[in-house]
Amino acid sequence: MTGNTGVVSTADARLRFKPNVSRPDQAVRLTVGVLLMALAATGLLSPFWAGVLIVLGFFQVATALTRYCPLFDLVGRPQRGDV
């Protein structure tokens, strides 16, 4: 909520996030994220690359579940489809 200072609280800022990931994109992100984390868990990769895949996979799953991608907002990707 904004007060006299014009500062927006963290809770209000979170409520303003609008979904910018379409349903088909959501399905792809969820699938790819789970596959990346599963590959990291197999033990076939060095710990460094396993960690990289876990971070990338987590980001994909998180954006799929929330349907919000901060990178899309950063680069100004227009919303398309059934967002």
Q: Do residues 41 and 53 touch, judged by C-beta distance below 8 A?
A: no
| Predicted local confidence at residue 47, as pLDDT | 96
Q: Would you say residue 5 lies in a domain?
A: no
What pTM was computed for the model?
Answer: 0.73
Q: Would you say residue 47 lies in a domain?
A: yes
| Predicted local confidence at residue 17, as pLDDT | 76
For 44, half-sphere exposure in the C-beta direction (CA atoms, 13 angstrom radius) is 7
Split at pLDDT 50, 70, 90, the class of 60 is very high
Q: Would you say residue 12 lies in a domain?
A: no
| 31-58 tens-digit pLDDT | 999 999 999 999 999 999 999 999 999 9
Q: Do residues 73 and 20 touch, judged by C-beta distance below 8 A?
A: yes
- How many Å apart are CA 41 and CA 47, to the nearest integer? 10
The residue to which tokens 């998180």 are assigned = 62
Structural domain total, the chain:
1
Report the 10 Å Cβ neighbour count for 27.
Answer: 11
Residue 28 is part of which domain span?
20-75
